[in-house]
């Protein structure tokens, strides 16, 4: 291994110590009043119980899938196994890599969620003392999840690479560890789906019955669904999104290493294979420093403080990219490709912020549309969502074109596609910091709810209301970031698929012919897959929400003393209904993207006149494009609807006479309906599509022996 590579385990160890420091800092904070602790404990118990049940289900499915995939790939690989590992070797390596990837993904979700939930009540207590302290607790609590996820991904991929022969046969090892990415993607899909169904069903139930029908405030303690709603923020936005970006970083590392193996075949220099791991390590350092400079001033816009840390992370990432490329690859063109990826991450964050932040025209226009009712609010939100597909596509297209051109200009054979890999690595360098901003959202949302349920004064609620609105924006930013990284990575993983087919066939595989019927059918089925998956995910939220709505109505109807504060609602029953329904509903859409490529590829392989590898390539490519467009629409429309509601609740909307149109007005009721429509889009189907895109890539990489 090159000397600079050994910085990877050193930085990984330093990051683990940094995570321990952050966790100790957060856990040492005051937990507030007894009432606040009581609410915080209920949220923790609900979240922990749901994750236990969810991951038991996912664990059982993972074991069966690992055995099935290992046996199928081993038996059908014939003489196409990488190197000389043989059928038995490919069988146990694929199964083991799958299980290790699944386990690491599960651990990252659990651990990140634990600290995030413990941060909720501490952020609520901090808000009673200081605006600045509340931001500090929320950001550092979120950072535990962000740094843990990216560090586990780096350690996992590095360990598997060396365990499967990275020292002796570095060109073979990346092909053997693709199961790691598949396992991580498999767990991430179910974690995001299950958590998303749970959180949005509870949110819809709490909002529609509480705020619209009963006319009580958000997070009011009289609402039976409010604890389920607060639990959902953690299992969906913390554990679910954490699993999503864990598999992103893992799959993209592996895809870049496979492309590096192609260049290695020409140069015989292992730096091309291990380069992605070193870049990821420098990204951890840049994000650590960025986090440490987030020191908000009293009454400063929280987004300004978070942006300060983000820009520091960006600048240091750019420096780290240039240094790493100079030392390892010695090519200025590839350094420029890395900077393209970093620039793409900045562009998409600001595009997403424009469409979802209350400071900008789209959300203000959507709030105005609410004055004329739910229909105009919903039409406006749909229009915003569809419009965002344009800038998202431009960012991805320009980034790919420029990065590929820089790779070609490097003069290294096969480095055109590797240029896009370097760009993807550049974009993901700030992943720990962006994830910290993402988890900032559910922490401040829960802190706001805890203060409402604990009876905190209006001044404290003013602080947490503002932090909650900022959290809505940071969650939307992370979805945009995850989406564009999925787009860049999808091209990277598509190139890896082509290289994998060529590697196993022993001959070039450089084009997918759209004129072939199996290719056209594969492409058409891919778009259908995106629509059907989205439909099932949204329907799952709707059917689960109906049960919660009926339960909250039943409790109000059968126990009128709840509304007069003389009796407590049955929170546990609402939590249990949501958990059981969420776990049941996640199975069908979760299995769809796993079984569809398998059925298509095996089906065409059984017909000698068709090329299954071409059909699967078409499904992978077009499914990625369709998924990106659909996810961009869902994520941004949902974010705009959510913050249009917040804009009205904050008293910023006025009618033609200058009268404030705030809570309990016609406009507010319309905005709540729009937000409810957007909930399953932005927090269930949309984020799950990010995982679907990468799951299609990882499952096809693993199952290539079946298709050739």
Cα–Cα nearest to 551, from 265, 211, 285, 209: 209
How many domains does the structure of the chain reveal? Answer: 1
Residue 402, pLDDT score? 94
What mean pLDDT comes out for the span 51-65? 84
Cα–Cα nearest to 138, from 327, 347, 303: 303
What mean pLDDT comes out for the span 646-655? 84
Residue 302, pLDDT score? 81
Residue 453, pLDDT score? 79
Model confidence at 642: pLDDT above 70: yes
Residue 232, pLDDT score? 76
Task: Report residue 106 as tokens.
Answer: 């599960």
Cα–Cα nearest to 302, from 76, 465, 417: 465
Coil, strand, or helix at residue 547?
helix
pLDDT tens-digit series, residues 24-54:
999 998 888 888 888 888 888 888 777 788 7
Residue 311, pLDDT score? 92
| Reported confidence tier of residue 279, pLDDT bands at 50, 70, 90 | very high
Residue 250, pLDDT score? 84
Residue 335, pLDDT score? 94
Residue 277, pLDDT score? 93
| Reported confidence tier of residue 690, pLDDT bands at 50, 70, 90 | confident
Whole-number Å distance between alpha carbons of 297 and 560 = 45
| Reported confidence tier of residue 82, pLDDT bands at 50, 70, 90 | low
Model confidence at 80: pLDDT above 70: no
Give the single-character DSSP code of 217. P
What mean pLDDT comes out for the span 328-340? 92
CA distances from 490 to 69, 350, 431, 434, 626 (A): 22, 22, 17, 20, 12
Residue 445, pLDDT score? 83
* Least-confidence region, from 68-82, 235-249, 418-432, 650-664: 68-82
- Which residue blocks in 173-270 are alpha helix, DSSP H? 173-176, 178-205, 226-232, 241-267
Cα–Cα nearest to 509, from 272, 269, 694, 700: 700
Residue ranges making up the domain that contains 616: 3-707
* Least-confidence region, from 100-114, 208-222, 655-669: 208-222
CA distances from 455 to 128, 407, 460 (A): 12, 59, 10
pLDDT tens-digit series, residues 401-422:
999 999 889 887 767 788 888 9
Pair 645, 369: CB distance under 8 Å = no
Task: Report residue 10 as tokens.
Answer: 């050193």
Cα–Cα nearest to 137, from 116, 119, 114, 121: 119
Pair 474, 142: CB distance under 8 Å = no
pLDDT tens-digit series, residues 357-406:
888 999 999 999 999 999 999 999 999 999 999 999 999 899 999 999 99
Instruction: Calculate the average pLDDT of the chain.
Output: 85
Whole-number Å distance between alpha carbons of 455 and 118 = 20
Q: Which residue has the higher pLDDT, 121 or 48?
A: 121
Most confident among 190-204, 279-293, 403-417, 583-597 (mean pLDDT): 279-293
Pair 613, 678: CB distance under 8 Å = no
| Reported confidence tier of residue 83, pLDDT bands at 50, 70, 90 | low
Residue 84, pLDDT score? 63
Most confident among 470-474, 554-558, 615-619 (mean pLDDT): 615-619
DSSP for 289-342, written as a single string? HHHHT--PPTT--HHHHHHHHHHHHHHHHHHHHHHHHHHHT--HHHHHHHHHHH
> In terms of C-beta distances under 8 Å and separation of at least 24 residues, what long-range contacts does 170-173 make, across chains too?
170/261, 170/264, 170/270, 170/273, 170/274, 171/261, 171/264, 171/265, 171/273, 172/82, 172/83, 172/85, 172/261, 173/273
Q: Could you tell me the pTM of the whole model?
A: 0.85
What mean pLDDT comes out for the span 639-660? 84
What mean pLDDT comes out for the span 511-524? 90
Task: Report residue 221 as tokens.
Answer: 């303690």
Task: Report residue 639 as tokens.
Answer: 């974010």
| Reported confidence tier of residue 322, pLDDT bands at 50, 70, 90 | very high
| Reported confidence tier of residue 18, pLDDT bands at 50, 70, 90 | very high
Q: Which residue has the higher pLDDT, 172 or 320?
A: 320
Pair 548, 626: CB distance under 8 Å = no
Rg of the chain over Cα atoms, rounded to whole angstroms, equals 24
DSSP for 450-505, written as a single string? HHHHTT--HHHHHHHHHHHHHHHHHHHHHHHHHHHHHHHHHHHHHHHHHHHHHHHH
Coil, strand, or helix at residue 660?
strand
Task: Report residue 345 as tokens.
Answer: 């991450």
| Reported confidence tier of residue 602, pLDDT bands at 50, 70, 90 | confident
What mean pLDDT comes out for the span 2-31? 90
DSSP for 37-97, written as a single string? HHHHHHHHHHHHHHHHHHHHHHHHHHHHHHHHHHHHHHHH-TT-SSTT-HHHHHHHHHHHH
């Amino acid at each position: 291994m090159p000397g600079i590579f050994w910085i990877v385990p050193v930085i990984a160890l330093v990051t683990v110590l940094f995570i321990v420091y952050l966790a100790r800092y957060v856990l040492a904070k005051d937990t507030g009043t007894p009432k606040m602790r009581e609410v915080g404990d209920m949220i923790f118990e609900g979240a922990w119980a749901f994750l236990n049940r969810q991951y038991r289900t996912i664990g059982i499915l993972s074991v069966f899938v690992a055995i099935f995939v290992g046996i199928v790939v081993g038996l059908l690989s014939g003489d196409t196994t990488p190197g000389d590992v043989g059928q038995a070797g490919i069988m146990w390596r694929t199964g083991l890599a799958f299980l290790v990837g699944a386990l690491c993904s599960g651990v990252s979700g659990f651990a990140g969620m634990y600290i995030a939930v413990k941060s909720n009540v501490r952020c609520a207590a901090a808000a009673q003392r200081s605006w600045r302290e509340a931001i500090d607790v929320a950001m550092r609590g979120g950072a535990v999840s962000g740094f843990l996820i990216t560090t586990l991904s780096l350690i996992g991929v590095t360990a598997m690479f060396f365990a499967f022969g990275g020292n002796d046969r570095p060109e073979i090892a990346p092909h053997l560890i693709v199961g790691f990415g598949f396992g991580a993607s498999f767990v991430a899909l179910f974690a995001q789906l299950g958590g998303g169904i749970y959180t949005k069903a509870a949110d819809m139930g709490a909002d529609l019955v509480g705020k619209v029908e009963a006319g009580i405030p958000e997070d009011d303690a009289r609402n039976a669904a409010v604890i389920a709603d607060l639990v959902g923020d953690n299992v969906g936005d913390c554990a679910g999104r954490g699993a999503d970006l864990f598999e992103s970083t893992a799959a993209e590392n592996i895809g870049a290493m496979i492309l590096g193996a192609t260049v290695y075949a020409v140069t015989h220099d292992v730096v091309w294979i291990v380069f992605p791991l070193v870049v990821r390590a420098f990204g951890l350092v840049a994000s650590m420093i960025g986090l440490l400079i987030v020191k908000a001033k009293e009454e400063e816009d929280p987004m300004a403080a978070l942006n300060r840390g983000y820009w520091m992370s960006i600048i240091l990432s750019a420096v780290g990219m240039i240094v790493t490329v100079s030392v390892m690859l010695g090519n200025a063109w590839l350094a420029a490709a890395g900077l393209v990826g970093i620039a793409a991450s900045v562009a998409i964050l600001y595009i997403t912020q424009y469409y979802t932040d209350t400071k900008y025209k789209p959300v203000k226009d959507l709030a105005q549309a609410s004055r004329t009712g739910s229909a105009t609010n919903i039409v406006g939100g749909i229009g915003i969502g569809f419009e965002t597909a344009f800038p998202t596509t431009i960012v991805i297209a320009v980034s790919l074109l420029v990065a590929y051109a820089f790779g070609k200009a490097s003069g290294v054979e096969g480095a055109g596609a590797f240029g896009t890999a370097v760009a993807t690595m550049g974009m993901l360098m700030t992943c720990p910091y962006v994830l910290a901003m993402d988890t900032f959202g559910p922490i401040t949302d829960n802190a706001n709810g805890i203060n409402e349920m604990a009876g905190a004064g209006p001044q404290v609620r003013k602080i947490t209301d503002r932090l909650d609105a900022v959290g809505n924006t940071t969650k939307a930013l992370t979805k945009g970031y995850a989406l564009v990284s999925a787009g860049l990575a999808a091209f990277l993983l598509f190139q890896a698929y082509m290289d994998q087919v060529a590697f196993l066939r022993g001959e070039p595989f450089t084009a997918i012919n759209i004129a072939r019927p199996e290719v056209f059918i594969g492409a058409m089925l891919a778009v259908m897959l995106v629509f059907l998956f989205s439909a099932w995910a949204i329907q799952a939220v709707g059917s689960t929400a109906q049960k919660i709505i009926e339960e909250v109505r039943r409790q109000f109807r059968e126990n009128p003393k709840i509304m007069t504060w003389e009796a407590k609602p049955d929170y546990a029953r609402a939590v249990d209904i949501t958990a059981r329904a969420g776990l049941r509903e996640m199975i069908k859409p979760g299995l769809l993207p796993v079984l569809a490529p398998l059925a298509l590829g095996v089906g065409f392989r059984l017909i000698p006149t068709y090329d299954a590898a071409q059909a699967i390539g078409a499904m992978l490519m077009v499914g990625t494009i369709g998924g990106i467009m659909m996810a961009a629409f869902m994520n941004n429309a949902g974010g705009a609807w959510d913050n249009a509601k917040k804009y009205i609740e904050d008293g910023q909307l006025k009618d033609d006479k200058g009268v404030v149109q705030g809570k309990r007005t016609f406009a507010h009721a319309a905005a709540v309906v729009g937000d409810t429509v957007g909930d399953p889009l932005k927090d269930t189907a949309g984020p799950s599509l990010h995982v679907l895109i990468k799951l299609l890539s990882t499952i096809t990489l693993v199952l290539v022996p079946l298709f050739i």
